[in-house]
Structure 1
Amino acid sequence: MQISLEAGSRRIKEQEEWAKEIFPTVHERLKQAAETLPRDSPAQPFVDALTERVQAQADTTGFVVLHRWVEILERHFPPRLPDLDNVAE
């Protein structure tokens, strides 16, 4: 059991080290891919939110707390305000 725990711990540490090493390169590829989309694409808010979320994760220890997630989503998917020209009497 001790050997299994140590092996599992070692694998997790190796995965973390690998991820920290490769993350900047992968994140850069994400940003470059996002820049190729037309700015008026319907997917743009999703791409912008994902890119910002990935950056937020990079800026932390790897965990984005809920309130930060909500801030990102609110920024890219704001609530729709009532259309004052189309209000039923």
Structure 2
Amino acid sequence: MWHTKECPQFVIMQIGWEAGSRNIREQDEWARGVFPAAHERVRQAAAALPTGSAAQPFVNALLALVQAQAGTTGFVVLHQWTEILERYFPPELPDPDHTTE
């Protein structure tokens, strides 16, 4: 569908695009300002937890994911998520004493 610059529907769409773009820029600016302090709070909270608990792999994975996010200007991509999750939650190795029929 083609619109002329004077078309009311096109003007409404353009206003929506500009408002959406502005909102994204504002959210990104806010996040860049808040993220470092939030990252530090997560690290401090994790350091306060007792080591060796059942939650330790979850804590370690969360810290690694937050650190990966800190090292990027956008999103942590799927292969990074997968590498981190595989590191802290590896697939179970086969039990050599277990045989199937």
TM-score under structure 2 length normalisation: 0.75
Using the TM superposition, give the Cα deviation of residue 62 of structure 1 relative to its aligned residue in structure 2, in angstroms. 2.3
Question: Please, which runs of 5 or more residues in structure 2 have no aligned partner?
Answer: 1-11
Give the aligned partner of residue 7 of structure 1: 19
Structure (1 or 2) with the larger CA radius of gyration:
2
Question: Please, which runs of 5 or more residues in structure 1 have no aligned partner?
Answer: none
Instruction: Give the Cα separation in 1 of the matches to 2:74 and 2:57.
Output: 23
Residues 1:24 and 2:18 are matched in the alignment: no
Q: What is the correspondence of 1:9-88 to structure 2 with a 5 Å cutoff?
A: 9-84=21-96, 86-87=97-98
Greater helix content: 1
Using the TM superposition, give the Cα deviation of residue 82 of structure 1 relative to its aligned residue in structure 2, in angstroms. 4.1
Runs of 4+ in 1 over 6 A off after TM superposition: none
TM-score under structure 1 length normalisation: 0.84
Instruction: Give the Cα separation in 2 of the matches to 1:79 and 1:5.
Output: 44
Instruction: Give the Cα separation in 1 of the matches to 2:17 and 2:43.
Output: 38
CA RMSD of aligned residues (A): 1.8
